[in-house]
């Protein structure tokens, strides 16, 4: 007669393997389902990205080219003219800076001649040269709201 302890150990080992296999099979099935769901979501995201790109392209065609920025070729910068224009509009340095898109310290430095505006700020200054006091106040109100 075989050793009873060895038989019990073998039976326990066999049952443990059977239960472990059942659990891992269930996890394998769930894992496969999750991978399939992830792949489907990735395909859906790719389709939506393509559709968005197509719609953006159509919208660009519909709207037309973007309006060009004011030309700064040949535009000159003068610290005195910035200061005079600001005073003519009756604006503080902070308000004038909001219109141009820079800080009040930058406006101060421009007026003192300590620095010069970059290309983007220079184009904003060129655009502001032609506006009057009423238009400046309207734009400022729109920016504050």
At residue 5 the predicted structure's pLDDT band, cuts being 50, 70 and 90, is confident
Exposure string over 120-138, b if 16+ CB within 10 A, otherwise e: ebbbbbbebeeeeeeebbe
Nearest partner of 9 among 1, 22, 17, judged by Cα: 17
| Distant-in-sequence, close-in-space partners of 78: CB < 8 Å, separation ≥ 6 | none
pLDDT at position 143: 84
pLDDT at position 142: 87
Residues 113/79, Cβ–Cβ less than 8 Å:
yes
pLDDT at position 130: 85
At residue 106 the predicted structure's pLDDT band, cuts being 50, 70 and 90, is very high
Largest CA distance in the chain: 115
pLDDT at position 66: 56
Q: Distance of alpha carbon 131 from its chain centroid, rounded?
A: 32
């Amino acid at each position: 007669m075989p050793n009873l302890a060895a038989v019990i150990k073998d039976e326990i080992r066999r049952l443990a393997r059977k239960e472990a296999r059942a659990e891992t099979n269930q996890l394998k099935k769930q894992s496969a389902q999750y991978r399939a769901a992830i792949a489907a979501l990735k395909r859906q995201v790719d389709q939506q990205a393509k559709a968005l790109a197509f719609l953006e392209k159509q919208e660009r065609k519909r709207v037309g080219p973007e309006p060009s920025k004011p030309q700064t070729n040949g535009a000159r910068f003068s610290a005195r003219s910035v200061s005079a224009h600001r005073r003519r509009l009756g604006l503080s340095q902070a308000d004038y800076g909001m219109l141009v898109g820079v800080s009040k310290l930058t406006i101060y430095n421009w007026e003192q001649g300590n620095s010069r505006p970059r290309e983007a700020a220079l184009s904003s200054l060129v655009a502001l040269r032609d506006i009057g006091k009423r238009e400046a106040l309207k734009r400022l109100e729109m920016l504050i709201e």
